[in-house]
Structure 1
Amino acid sequence: MAEQGVIHTGWADLPPPEYGRPGLSGWLRILRRGIPGIAVLVIGVIILIPLRLMERLFSGPRRPVTGPFVQGVCRCVLWCIGLSWTSSGEPMRGPGAVVANHSSWLDIFSLNAAMPVFFVAKSEVSTWPGINILTRVTDTHFVTRDPKLARVQAEEFAARTKAGHRLLFFPEGTSSDGLRVLPFKPALFQGFLDPDIPGSFAIQPITAVYHAPKGEDLRFYGWWGDMALGPHILAVLSVRRQGRVHVILHPPIPIKGETRKTLSQASESAIRGALPFDTALKGREQRSR
């Protein structure tokens, strides 16, 4: 493992950290953290089903109860696995969507703990073992990358927005190691400009900053590229002492008068500027030129 405090020159030019097999003490920590975490998820799903049925009867497509409930479940899961969680900033009010940097499967818990959101993910994610359960529980909105379906998916997005859902997008299009923000894809912001979207619509950028446990690789919580999910989950659960994650909610950006390119640039700038590792890396690159 790399020494704590070491900043690498990039996320793609180095292989991911290697996670060895947990020893006896590691497996004990896995059981101590994993069993309560799974129990919270199972109990949460059991309670969530009747709550959603009640919402359909009295609130239609809105989620006035289950949104905050899932938020509470995610906070409990983070507490069970020992990952310290803090946040700053205020959740947006009024119609809107959320965009964030994407570092790990832990984002499902960390970002939902900050505010009730509904993730937007590619349709393939619905078939990933383990992750598909989490996405179903959090009512993830799946999309297919097919230009022929763009109009239909934009209408679905607008319908969920009108229902008061906060859809959360990852404009990077993939996950990184958590040290950097990858370039945003402006095309993903086109859906925000659909004619059916309310004029008061705004986008709230969010930065999730993961701090690795002392002595571990700074990329410890990152899950990207071809990394296997199982070993990474075991590594996170078996580490002697957990690190922490801080979620920063930036001021919302109104879409009125903006283009997909300007929305992408403004969101990326806000998220990137709050990631200390990314800022340090850019400063190092500029000094080396």
Structure 2
Amino acid sequence: MEGPHHKVGLAGWVRFILKALPLAILVFGCLALLLLVRLIERPIYGQRRPVTPYITQFVCRNALRIIGLKFSVEGKPLNGAGAVVANHSSWLDIFVLNASKRIYFVSKAEVANWPGIGWLARATGTVFIKRDPREAEAQVKMFRERLSLGHRLLFFPEGTSTDGRRVLPFKPTLFAAFLTPELKENLNIQPVSVVYRHAEGADVRQYGWWGDMDFGTHLVQTLSAAKQGSVTVVYHEPIRVADYDNRKLLARDAEAAVRGSLIEAGVLD
């Protein structure tokens, strides 16, 4: 069985090169295009971004095709502005969730300074936040401004990625911002399950990226694999925030919805 740290042989390196080159051309070529379009889009529309999210979605859908990861969607994505919360298994989630719907990720501030990933995150309109209670008021203002533009903001309430075989408890602290008077009355939160299925003969944790795993090593392992599995994005019924007064209950119900699809798929340990 191929494990998450399988040895990459000659055939594996050939597969890696044949996928990595077109993937790099796709991502960085379209990043250059996106930045050029932003030179026109930004002065006219500011953060509204009526064009560039389509470039991001095009990149992500075709990246999954290059990787060979079969992709499907169940349920109906939230229309209009709102928040989306999902389980987090891998860096692949960025491609998978952008492929299924035009969204904007909310990420910890440190990601903005990561080589490569940080550049892509900034270019695609990611919202960066500091995990500091003193920043709470500013963050609520930022969320309100982005939601008023019709953006769907995506959060990973687990706070970290996993091996894909578990859902960590959703941190209720994140949900406190949704319950502020400025947001709660008109805000819907849609729970989303990202369900990875390993390839036949591969380790059940094939796509998980957790602990101290190095990104480059995991990228090589993923692209060099002899067989690829599949991923399904399951959109659940949106939750009306105005029905809640307690962030813990809101987090619990969102987590239960996300966990349910992974239990149904038989991927949870």
The TM tier, using the shorter chain, reads over 0.9
Q: Is 1:133 equivalent to 2:133 in the alignment?
A: no
- 2:42 is the counterpart of 1:56: yes
Partner of 2:257: 270
Deviation at 1:130, TM superposition (A): 3.4
Report the equivalent of 1:212: 198
**In 2, Cα distance between the equivalents of 1:136 and 1:280?**
33
Q: Which residue of 2 aligns with 1:197?
A: 183
Task: Determine the structure 1 residue equivalent to 2:170.
Answer: 184
Give the conservation status (yes or no) of the 8 Å contact 2:97–2:233: yes
Match of 2:154 in 1: 168
TM-score, scaled to structure 1: 0.87
Question: Going by fraction, where is helix more abundant, 1 or 2?
Answer: 2
Query: What is the rounded CA distance, in whole Å, between the counterparts of 1:248 and 1:142 in structure 2?
Result: 25
- Report the secondary structure of 1:209's partner residue: strand
Deviations 1:80-134 (A, max 9, x none): 1111111111111232110000000000100111111111111122233333233
Identity, in percent, stands at 48
Pick closer, same or farther for the CA change 1:278–1:175 going to 2, 3 Å.
farther
Q: Distance in 2 between matches of 1:153 and 1:173?
A: 17
**Matches of 1:241 and 1:134 in 2, distance apart?**
28
Instruction: Tell me which amino acid in the other structure corresponds to 2:144.
Output: A
Within 5 Å, give how 1:8-47 maps onto structure 2.
17-20=4-7, 22-47=8-33
Matches of 1:146 and 1:224 in 2, distance apart?
24
Amino acid at match of 1:82: G
**For residues 196-234 of structure 1, what are the alpha-carbon distances to aligned partners after superposition, in whole Å with 9 as ceiling and x for unaligned?**
226221001111111112111111100011111111110
- Report the AA paired with residue 203 of structure 1: I
Change over 3 Å in CA distance of 1:161–1:281 after alignment to 2: closer
Secondary structure of 2:206's aligned partner: coil
Q: Please, what TM-score do these two structures have when normalized by structure 2?
A: 0.93
**Aligned residues, how many?**
268
- Cα shift at 1:271: 0.3
The ranges of structure 1 where at least 4 consecutive aligned residues each deviate by more than 6 angstroms after the TM superposition are none
Kept in 2, the 8 Å contact 1:272–1:278? The answer is: no
The answer (yes or no) to whether the contact 2:31–2:120 under 8 Å persists in 1 is no
Q: Work out the CA distance in 2 between the residues paired with 1:128 and 1:149.
A: 22
Alpha-carbon distance, 1:279 to partner: 5.8
Q: CA deviation at 1:23?
A: 1.6
The Cα shift of 1:266 comes to: 1.4
**Aligned residue among 61, 66, 69 for 1:80:** 66
Classify 1:154/1:93 alpha carbon distance in 2 versus 1 (closer, same or farther; 3 Å): same
Structure 2: which 5+ residue stretches go unaligned? none
Instruction: State the alpha-carbon separation in 2 of the partners of residues 280 and 238 from structure 1.
Output: 23
The gaps in structure 1 that reach 5 residues or longer are 3-15, 283-289
Preserved CA contact (<8 Å) 2:262 2:268? no
Q: Is structure 2 residue 226 aligned with structure 1 residue 240?
A: yes
Rounded Cα–Cα distance in structure 1 between residues aligned with 2:220 and 2:68: 13
Give the CA deviation at 1:139. 2.1
Q: SS at 2:176's partner residue?
A: helix
In the aligned structure 2, how far is the partner of 1:99 from the partner of 1:158?
17
| 1:65 aligned onto 2:51 | yes
**Alignment-derived partner of residue 101 in structure 2:** 115
Q: What is the Cα-based RMSD across aligned positions, in Å?
A: 1.9
Mean Cα displacement is larger for which, 196-205 or 39-48?
A: 196-205
Which residue in the other structure is 2:128 paired with?
Answer: 142
Rounded to whole Å, the distance in 2 between the matches of 1:212 and 1:134 is 27
Are the structure 2 counterparts of residues 57 and 137 from structure 1 closer, same or farther at C-alpha, using a change threshold of 3 Å?
closer
50-59 or 73-82: bigger deviation? 50-59
Tell me if structure 2 keeps the 8 A contact 1:87–1:248: yes
